Amino acid sequence: FTLLGLESSADDTCAAVVTSEGRILSNVVVKQNQELAIYGGIHPYAAIQRHQQNMPGAIRQALDDAGLDMSSIDGIAYTRGPGIGGCLSVCSTAAKTLGATLNKPIFGVHHMQAHALTPLIPTLYAAHRTFTSAADAEQPQTPPQFPFLALLISGGHTLLLLARSPDEFTTLATTPDISIGNAFDHVARYLGLAPGERGYGAALEAFAAGAPASFTHGVDADVHDADEPDADAAVPDFAVPLRGQLAFSYGGPRSRVEIFVRERGGVERVPEATRRALARAFQAAAVRQLEEKTVLALRHCEGLGVRVQDVVVSGGVASNSYLRQRLRAGLNEAFPGTALNLVYPPPHLCTDNAVMVAWAGMHRFAAGDFDTYDASIRPKWRIDEYTGKALARLH
């Protein structure tokens, strides 16, 4: 069977058609103009307007690309939460209206569940391989098995979850602070980077890796380069916050960059070599924190007698290739001799998309677990509450 997936929880308007075998028949992502992002976040009113403009066309395109009509689609999955209320209303109303009109079942899925289940799409593996990007060559051959650990790192979340089944998740670590993706976005802005097509996070990664960068107005490419011969020594040291605790914090590292730039009299006064050193140091520290907390979470599961052999890393920040290399090396160092299966979706399925939403609805279709057409959106929705079942707490 075939599901239409709809996603509009943040700033991308997405529609996709996926089969029960995991074949991706279409994947439409309409990115919003990066200029809509103010203060490193999303302007809710502008985002809602864009979703309203773009959703009907995205659905039409997804059906056309799949070569299907709505009548041959078996059901509609949409993001019910968490996210910006007005944004969620767009995909929710579209899904419910299509469902009620055409008498099709609907599935309101949890956005982070969808990020976590993406690597279970069978066509991402071996003989089914449909992706040919360079990063795809790093994809492992085997999909993750429950129970697995999910490290979800995105624009709104920094989470370590124990996934016991497609809809049973326990939060092992989260943050009271800003998310890792948000910290990447802010730091890129403090460094004067222009977001480009792939956004601030990807711009920061490329800048740290030495790629030529474009800057926002007023920031030169090579201010006083000779003034700072040892740029790496000039930038602050980033310690891992909350050492030994199952919790994340990215507000501190972000502020350290902000303060450094301010003390230098603004980004236009900081030599480019120093800006790059700062980007590298921030990114390395951000990833070191992920590494350390992931190791802690795996030890925590071990202590509880839960055998975890697979680690899923998903969400927009998981498309960062420095992180992919570092995390592999870090886990090998921490658990020598054990073959942990570290699994990432291909980069274009790490950032928001509706393929993951359709896929998350798939097991519910099989189980006949439909939502009613009056289901309300859930802007705030803890993933532990997803099933409504009383799950055994782990800590």
Q: Which residues bind ligand ATP (CB under 6 A)?
A: 9-10, 83, 111, 115, 154-157, 181-182, 184-185, 199-202, 205, 315-317, 319-320, 351-352
167 contact choice in ligand ATP, Fe ion, none (CB below 5 to 8 Å, kind-dependent): none
Give the nearest distance from C-beta 172 to Fe ion in angstroms. 19
Q: How far apart are CA 109 and CA 289, in angstroms?
A: 29
181 contact choice in ligand ATP, Fe ion, none (CB below 5 to 8 Å, kind-dependent): ligand ATP
81 contact choice in ligand ATP, Fe ion, none (CB below 5 to 8 Å, kind-dependent): none
Q: Angle, nearest 10°, between helix axes 180-190 and 272-303?
A: 170
Q: How far apart are CA 271 and CA 143, in angstroms?
A: 45
Q: How far apart are CA 157 and CA 176, in angstroms?
A: 10
Token pair listed for 128? 């089914």
Neighbours of 222 (CB within 10 A): 9
Element (DSSP H or E) covering residue 151: strand 148-153
319 contact choice in Fe ion, ligand ATP, none (CB below 5 to 8 Å, kind-dependent): ligand ATP
201 contact choice in ligand ATP, Fe ion, none (CB below 5 to 8 Å, kind-dependent): ligand ATP
Chain-centroid distance of CA 168 in Å reads: 19
- Asked if residue 168 binds Fe ion (CB under 5 A), the reply is no
Give the nearest distance from C-beta 97 to Fe ion in angstroms. 24
Q: Which is nearer to ligand ATP, 271 or 345 (CB)?
A: 345
Q: Is 119 in contact with 144 (CB distance < 8 Å)?
A: yes
Which residue is closest to ligand ATP by CB?
Answer: 316
Q: Which is nearer to Fe ion, 99 or 315 (CB)?
A: 315
Give the nearest distance from C-beta 353 to Fe ion in angstroms. 9
- Asked if residue 154 binds Fe ion (CB under 5 A), the reply is yes
The closest alpha carbon to 206, from 313, 348, 320, belongs to 320
2 contact choice in Fe ion, ligand ATP, none (CB below 5 to 8 Å, kind-dependent): none
Q: Which is nearer to ligand ATP, 7 or 272 (CB)?
A: 7
Element (DSSP H or E) covering residue 181: helix 180-190
205 contact choice in Fe ion, ligand ATP, none (CB below 5 to 8 Å, kind-dependent): ligand ATP
Query: Footprint of Fe ion on residues 343-362 (CB under 5 A)?
Result: 352
Give the nearest distance from C-beta 153 to ligand ATP in angstroms. 8
Token pair listed for 242? 């909350």
Quote helix, strand, coil % in the chain, to nearest 5: 45, 15, 40
Q: Which is nearer to ligand ATP, 208 or 231 (CB)?
A: 208
Give the nearest distance from C-beta 152 to Fe ion in angstroms. 8
- Asked if residue 54 binds Fe ion (CB under 5 A), the reply is no
The sheet with strand 2-7 has its strands ordered as: 24-30, 13-19, 2-7, 75-81, 106-110
Q: Which is nearer to ligand ATP, 157 or 378 (CB)?
A: 157
Q: Which is nearer to ligand ATP, 105 or 156 (CB)?
A: 156
150 contact choice in ligand ATP, Fe ion, none (CB below 5 to 8 Å, kind-dependent): none
Q: Are strands 158-165 and 75-81 parallel, antiparallel or unpaired?
A: unpaired
Element (DSSP H or E) covering residue 254: helix 251-263
SS (HEC) of 77-89: EEEEECCCHHHHH
202 contact choice in Fe ion, ligand ATP, none (CB below 5 to 8 Å, kind-dependent): ligand ATP
Chain-centroid distance of CA 112 in Å reads: 8
- In terms of Cβ atoms closer than 10 Å to its own Cβ (0-12, 13-18, 19+), residue 315 is buried
Give the nearest distance from C-beta 21 to ligand ATP in angstroms. 25
Contact residues: Fe ion, CB under 5 A: 154, 352
